[in-house]
Amino acid sequence: MSSHHQILIIGGGTAGIMVAAQLLKQKNTQDVAIIEPADTHYYQPAWTLVGAGTYDFNKTARPMSSVMPKGVTWIKDKATGFNPENNLVSTANNDDISYDYLVVAPGLVYDFSLMPGLGEAMDKGVVCSNYTNPNHTWNVIKNFKGGTALFTQPTTPIKCGGAPQKIMYLAENHFRKKGIDNKTDIVFATGGTVIFGVKKIAKTLMEVVDRKNINLRFHHKLVAVDGDKQIAWYEMGKEITAGGCVVISSDHANDLKLDESFQYNYKDVKITRDGNRYGIHYDMLHTAPPSVAPKFVKESSLVNDAGWVDVNHQTMQHNKYRNIFSLGDVAALPTAKTGAAIRKQVPIVVDNLDLLIKHNKLGTKEYNGYSSCPLVTDYGKMVLAEFDYKNNFTPDPKLKRMFISDSSKEHWRLWMLKKYGLPYLYWNKMMKGDNV
């Protein structure tokens, strides 16, 4: 059966549900449909805490039917393709669905083919990821007896760029409590050049790294994982010029100065070289999976060269098709892919849709790239990195009301916000269409 809707939304995640809920609240549009095949809606930001054994996984899941806004048409199906010239979306089990306006927010998917060996090793033995199975992460951390604990990430965009390091800080805290910190080397290997892109936050995090004695390895491009031999293989993202500085090996570390733009808090962990690749041997590995737009999006005419939906960075309107908007993880917006970013994107998309329908023009509201990354640094401590497109530190004035004068510093009140405040706001306000 084919059907028509005034506003069609693809995706029942944070972005899709919030857009639908806010549109229906405005009461200017009554005909909103969401295409979403899943039975369960997850509050993924709490998965960091699940992986550290301090949050119940079951509490992060609710039936999709319970978050679908009242008055929305739920099309329980998979979107499979676009025909934007004719305002059609094809689906797996229904016929094409036509629309006046389309909102593309299916989130991202994991593509293990981009990282040889990782798919086979993932969520088994000592390899874990909070992105895929946070319960397994907690088992790995809980059962770790010492050795090299390697935390790493691919070079593709990922959900919440801070997530791969949050779990490391909590794991270190757990190892210390267990008394195995003296026989543990924690290594954070990243393709990046700094611990965090916002200077004020990076300063705080470097203090955390020093306190926890974590070995940072920059310019490390993860290229493969050997689950059997427990080796993560890297290529260097920058030319290595020795120039009196040691970059990788421990062979001459005593005689020469270590290049701190490559390594910080050096640890002599076991490595193996193979041509221009070099492998770090791990006793536990936590990583984020390589992330891409879903296939039906990536193979459509809606994406840019990088494979994300090509929208205006301020309005979220598609650069080619006026009646299509995209937001959330799948949109080509140069900011962090987080629920906090979506919280600020939604009202602008809703305002623009509303004005397009009523007056055939866009509003004046603009998205400045706001995103935030709650960086948990210990059990009971958190830093809140809030920033815009220019990587300026941009604290939300609402936090001042929580008596937090500087969210770039570690604070227990921020931990309370992460563990109790934000989940409450998510389920009871954001999902209900309240602008928080």
pTM of the model: 0.94
Determine the average pLDDT of the residues in 149-155.
Answer: 94
pLDDT value at position 261? Answer: 78
- Are 182 and 358 a contacting pair, CB within 8 Å? no
Mean pLDDT throughout 331-360?
94
**Model confidence band, residue 248 (pLDDT cutoffs 50, 70, 90):** low
pLDDT, one tens digit per residue, over 54-79 is 999 999 999 999 999 999 999 999 99
pLDDT surpassing 90 at residue 325:
yes
Give the span between the Cα atoms of 399 and 336, in whole angstroms. Answer: 20
Mean pLDDT confidence for 324-332: 97
Residue with token string 């960075």: 313
pLDDT tens, position by position, 86-116: 999 999 998 899 999 999 999 999 999 999 9
Q: Over 60: is that where the pLDDT of 430 sits? A: yes
The two three-digit tokens of residue 42, written as one number: 């997850």
Residue 172: its pLDDT value, please?
98
Residue 107 in contact with residue 330, Cβ under 8 Å?
Answer: yes
Q: What is the pLDDT of residues 25-53, one digit of tens each?
A: 987 778 999 999 999 999 999 999 999 99
* % of the chain at pLDDT higher than 90: 81
Residue appearing with tokens 């892919």? 337
CB neighbours of residue 100 within 10 Å: 16
A 10 A CB-CB count for 115 gives: 23
3-state helix, strand, coil in the chain (%, to 5): 30, 25, 40
CA distances (Å), origin 424, targets 419, 427, 436: 9, 6, 12
Q: Check pLDDT > 80 for residue 244.
A: no
Greater model confidence, 265 or 253: 265
Would the pLDDT of 250 be above 60?
no
pLDDT at 256: 52
Widest Cα–Cα separation across the chain? 75
**Gyration radius from the chain CA atoms:** 23
Query: Over 90: is that where the pLDDT of 176 sits?
Result: yes
3-class DSSP assignment, residue 385: strand
What percent of the chain has pLDDT above 70?
Answer: 94
On the question of pLDDT at 160 being above 80, the answer is no
Q: Is the pLDDT of residue 204 over 90?
A: yes
What is the distance, to the nearest Å, from the Cα of residue 113 to the centroid of all Cα atoms in its chain? 19
Please determine, for residue 126, whether its predicted confidence score (pLDDT) is greater than 80. yes
Please determine, for residue 238, whether its predicted confidence score (pLDDT) is greater than 90. no
CA distance 167 to 55: 13
Residue 304: pLDDT over 80 = yes
In the prediction, which pLDDT does 255 show? 52
Q: State residue 387's pLDDT score.
A: 92
10 contact partners, CB below 8 Å, separation of at least 6: 16, 34, 35, 36, 79, 89, 102, 103, 104, 105, 106
Between 381 and 192, whose confidence is greater? 381
Task: Supply the pLDDT for residue 404.
Answer: 79
Task: Look at residue 258 in the predicted model and tell me its pLDDT.
Answer: 66
Please compute, for residue 17, the number of CA atoms within 13 A of its CA located in the half-sphere on the CB side: 26
Given a cut of 80, is residue 298 above it in pLDDT?
yes
- Going edge to edge, which strands form the sheet with 284-286? 127-128, 284-286, 147-152, 184-189, 215-217, 263-264
d(CA 292, CA 298): 8
Termini Cα distance of the chain: 38
Is pLDDT at 85 greater than 70 in this prediction?
yes
pLDDT digits (tens, 9 = 90+) for 356-401: 999 999 989 999 999 999 999 999 999 999 999 999 998 888 777 7
Per-residue confidence (pLDDT) for residue 436, from 0 to 100: 79
Residue 431 has pLDDT above 60, yes or no: yes
Crossing angle of helices 163-178 and 199-212, in 10° steps, is 20
Map out the domains of the chain with their CATH numbers. 3-108+293-366 (3.50.50.60), 112-286 (3.50.50.60)
Compute how many other C-beta atoms are within 10 angstroms of the C-beta atom of residue 14. Answer: 29
Give the amino acid at 179. G
Average pLDDT of 195-209? 93
Q: What is the pLDDT of residues 208-235, one digit of tens each?
A: 999 999 999 999 999 999 999 999 999 9
Distance CA 365, CA 390 (A): 18
Decide if 135 contacts 103 (C-beta within 8 A): no
pLDDT category at 170 given cuts 50, 70, 90 is very high
Q: Residue 345: what pLDDT?
A: 97
Give the residue numbers annotated as catalytic, written as ranges: 160, 373
Beta bridge partners, 245, equal 257
- Per-residue pLDDT for 418 more than 80? yes
What tokens does 332 get? 């080509």
Q: Which of 303, 371, 368, 386 is nearest to 341 (CA)?
A: 371
Instruction: Identify the DSSP state of 85.
Output: G
Q: CA angle 172-203-138, nearest 5°?
A: 20
